[in-house]
A = this chain, B = another copy of it.
Amino acid sequence: MHRMITRNQAKMILSLQKRKVREENSLFVIEGDKLVREYIIAGNRVSLLAGKPEWIDGESEAVIAGADEIVTVSYEELRRISSLKTPHNVLALAPMAQGDYSDHLLTGRVTPVLEYVQDPGNLGTIIRIAAWFGMSNIVCSPDCVDFYNPKVIQATMGAFMHVSVWYRPLESFLGKAVTEGIPVYGATMDGRSIYDADIGGEGIILFGNESRGISDKLLGYVTRRITIPGPAKPLAGIESLNVSMAAAIVCSEFARRARR
């Protein structure tokens, strides 16, 4: 029998919904049976596993062995400490693990770069898309939503394990790319059609904020503006695509070209 979650542990889990607390403790929350299982099976350890007793009893030894500490939690308590409206059977605390960043990571590959993307669902979705197309890094402006936000982790559906997300001031980052001759593609409303644009296997693809797009400041670093062609005549209410849909389509086109 495992002991029940303590009041302090519950308090800690709740407080980890705040970015500041996550950073102070270098811990983040992973929720859901499938996500927790896959995280551990992929070779990662979690510091705490809080699950419904029946979930813990039914779980494989390989998963149980991946936790430093295991506690039981009632459905009511899980609901209280979960960031989801309808919680699953388990959540886990995991140590943040950030590798060392190197600018050279960007050479010879395609890397999505995000300016001020605010919505956790959008960042999570873009991470999932990047993983699908084998893009293993994303660079974010420091004011983007936090990678370790529980809603981001959730929206990646496991892809957060396969993509490194780096927070960097984008002016110096893009400036360096331009200096080194790496193409900086910018997803805008007035660029060349992505289907016709000169797209290669190396470059940065810059996506802007949900409502404002790419700022004028950063547009100055864009060397090739690209656009997803829309309806022949403008339609009310659909001036643009959502940033995560645009990322899906643009990344698909980059992947298609790279296969040639």
Contact = CB atoms under 8 A, between A and B. Distances in A.
A161 B231 CA distance: 14
Contacts of A125: 242, 245
A159 interface: yes
20 contacts: A35-B237, A41-B236, A42-B236, A42-B237, A125-B242, A125-B245, A129-B241, A131-B235, A131-B238, A132-B228, A132-B230, A157-B237, A158-B237, A158-B238, A159-B238, A229-B259, A245-B245, A249-B249, A252-B252, A252-B253
A252 B238 CA distance: 16
Interface in A214-260: 228-232, 235-238, 241-242, 244-245, 248-249, 252-253, 255-256, 259
Q: How large is the interface on A (under 10, 10 to 19, 20 to 34, 35 or more residues)?
A: 35 or more
Contacts of A162: 235, 237-238
B158 A231 contact: no
Contacts of A38: 236-237
6 closest A-B pairs by beta carbon, nearest first, are: A158-B237, A249-B252, A248-B248, A38-B236, A245-B248, A195-B256
A15 to B, nearest CB: 22
A134 interface: yes
Interface of A: 34-35, 38, 41-42, 125, 128-129, 131-134, 156-159, 161-162, 195, 228-232, 235-238, 241-242, 244-245, 248-249, 252-253, 255-256, 259
Contact of A129 (B34, B131, B133, B245): B245
A94 to B, nearest CB: 14
A25 to B, nearest CB: 24
Given A132-B230, A133-B231, A158-B238, 14 more contacts: A42-B237, A125-B242, A128-B241, A131-B231, A132-B228, A157-B237, A157-B242, A161-B237, A162-B235, A162-B237, A195-B259, A241-B248, A249-B249, A252-B252
A256 B229 CA distance: 9
Nearest to A196: B259
B236 A128 contact: no
A241 B133 CA distance: 11
A96 B44 CA distance: 52
A223 to B, nearest CB: 23
Contacts of A248: 241, 245, 248-249
A123 to B, nearest CB: 14
Contact of A159 (B41, B128, B228, B237): B237
